[in-house]
A and B are shown apart, each in its own frame.
Chain A
Amino acid sequence: SQQGEEDPQALSIQEGENATMNCSYKTSINNLQWYRQNSGRGLVHLILIRSNEREKHSGRLRVTLDTSKKSSSLLITASRAADTASYFCATDTSTGRRALTFGSGTRLQVQP
């Protein structure tokens, strides 16, 4: 079963606009990660936020985590056509080696 659920399922924006994707999860976590996937190929790790963190930045990416609401958001600022991809949140409930539980993803289309 899916631990996380992304919202919206699909998002279409113009280049230069910001894109916000949300993720909700069900159980307590140790950390939450966001991944990008281009055209059904491998997953690229974007950012990890730990359960004791509230916000994290990496380049044009900003991730927030609200453990009380069991939710996270990924903001991509000044989007580019190359950002077109599917984005997944993944939760890790283990304290040991990573066994990730993924959501169903948000398909982002950035129009040039």
Chain B
Amino acid sequence: DAGVTQSPTHLIKTRGQQVTLRCSPKSGHDTVSWYQQALGQGPQFIFQYYEEEERQRGNFPDRFSGHQFPNYSSELNVNALLLGDSALYLCASSPGTGEAFFGQGTRLTVV
């Protein structure tokens, strides 16, 4: 059984561009959460999706948006990239209120 998979592993973008990150949850998990982790810091909660809707959101601007598909996979979109958006982006899936399992992350570098 595959765990949480994220793609791509690494990504380099230019300031002002847009980026889409993808996450496939663990089998049987219907809830996907996204986190941003800056270097040397703990992960920060961005938002959470289940039943194809955003249910909870952290303190992130509207440039950060997402989507969840009927198969529970999810995308994170970031528009108008800033240098400060450079970070490790982590996806976590969980079965409802069960434990969260994390993917290996996408390392985004904005230049």
Interface residues of A (CB under 8 A from B): 1-2, 4, 35, 40-45, 48, 88, 90, 94, 96-105
Contact = CB atoms under 8 A, between A and B. Distances in A.
The 3 closest A-B pairs by CB, nearest first: A102-B42, A43-B102, A42-B104
Nearest to B47: A99
B50 interface: yes
B103 A96 contact: no
Interface string B16-53: 00000000000000010101010111111100101000
B42 A42 contact: no
A104 B39 CA distance: 10
Contacts of A96: 97
A40 B55 contact: no
Contacts of B55: 97
Contacts of B50: 97
Contacts of A4: 42
Tell me which of B40, B43, B56 has the highest count of chain A C-beta atoms within 10 A of its own C-beta. Answer: B43
Given A42-B90, A43-B90, A99 B33 contact: yes
Nearest to B55: A97
Contacts of A88: 42-43
Contact of B103 (A42, A102, A103, A104): A42
B39 to A, nearest CB: 8
Given A43-B102, A45-B99, A99 B88 contact: no
Interface string B55-88: 1101100000000000000000000000000001
